[in-house]
Amino acid sequence: MAGLFDKQAQIYLDARPTYPSDWFSKLAALTPQHSLAWDVGTGNGQAALGVAEHYERVIATDVSEAQLEHAKQHPRVKYVHTPLSLSDDELLTLMGGENSVDLVTVAAAAHWFDLPKFYALVTRLLRKPGGIIAVWCYYRSVVSPTFDPIMKRFFDSALPYSDPKAQYAFDGYETLPFPFESVGLGSEGKPLLLDLPKEISFEQFLMMLRSWSAVNTAKDQGVDLLSEAVVKELESAWGGPRLVRSVVYKAFMLVGKIKL
């Protein structure tokens, strides 16, 4: 999926919501040791920075070099480009071998993965006992009774251009396979529901829409989902380009440990 995101890496960095610090505190409280964490599909490092507040080392990996070029640096975070050609054994070596990782995090990316292969690798890497895996995502936003129905129409127009794997996110991860033992923060079929509030202007919100993979896929096929007319309708319902509104992104999380 690297190509889908390379074009909008800087937009992605500027416009996406950030994750609350208490999320990472709760995850850190679940692992007895805090030596090493692996942030997979790190993108620009949004989650890796939160993880780094609690772990001595964070290895943050992504298949997209363009995303990593925009990643925010941190003394405890090591960013590594991991092309799809990299073997599982090479990844194991990179991470320090089996039973070496205390926490694996995947923010807004797990639905793109080859899940059976990824979960098999996680099972080998996580420290046993004590290792934890956490995956989360978000997709729907709540702005206002006026804006939300128009946004729903736009979302529906983008669906035909969405990758089938994105359906996991559209389902709120309720259908995402997650073969790990629950630790009380969501479980397979029953994700933990969370809110991600963000103060944002319409200009910033529009930047986020432009970063959607479906919008860019449609553009590559000659279809402009964010035409001038669509943008004007959204902007009018928002209340103006510079008006700052409180937006709530609806998030969902699954956290588990290896079944022993």
Give Cβ neighbours of residue 139 (< 8 Å, ≥ 6 apart): 169, 170, 172, 249, 250
Question: What is the rounded average pLDDT of the residues 144-172?
Answer: 95
Dist CA 53 CA 55 (whole Å): 6
Taking the C-alpha atoms of residue 82 and residue 90, their distance in angstroms, rounded to an integer, is 10
Alpha carbons 183 and 192: distance in angstroms, whole number: 11
Reported as a single tens digit per residue, the pLDDT across 1-58 is 444 444 444 555 556 778 999 999 999 999 999 999 999 999 889 999 999 999 999 9
What are the beta bridge partners of residue 40?
61, 106
Beta bridge partners of 137: 252
Average pLDDT value for residue range 153-174: 94
Q: The pTM is what?
A: 0.90
User: Taking 90 as the threshold, does the pLDDT of residue 121 lie above it?
Assistant: yes
**How far apart are alpha carbons 82 and 68 in whole angstroms?**
11
User: Among residues 34, 16, 17, which one has the least CA distance to residue 25?
Assistant: 34
Span 56-113, pLDDT tens digits: 999 999 999 988 988 999 999 999 999 999 999 999 999 999 999 999 999 999 999 9
Closest C-alpha to 200, from 238, 250, 253, 145: 238
Give dist(CA 22, CA 14) in Å, integer. Answer: 22
The encoded tokens of residue 133 equal 């895996």
- Of 153, 152, 113, 150, the closest CA to residue 133 belongs to 113
Q: What is the CATH number of the domain that holds 18?
A: 3.40.50.150
What range defines the domain where residue 252 resides? 2-257
Overall size of the chain counted in residues: 260
Whose CA is closest to 218, among 174, 163, 173, 153? 163
Q: What DSSP character marks residue 102? A: S
- Neighbour tally for 120: CB within 10 Å: 13
- pLDDT single digits (tens) 194-241: 999 988 899 889 988 988 889 999 999 999 999 999 999 999 999 999
Tally of domains in the chain: 1
Q: What is the pLDDT of residue 4?
A: 46
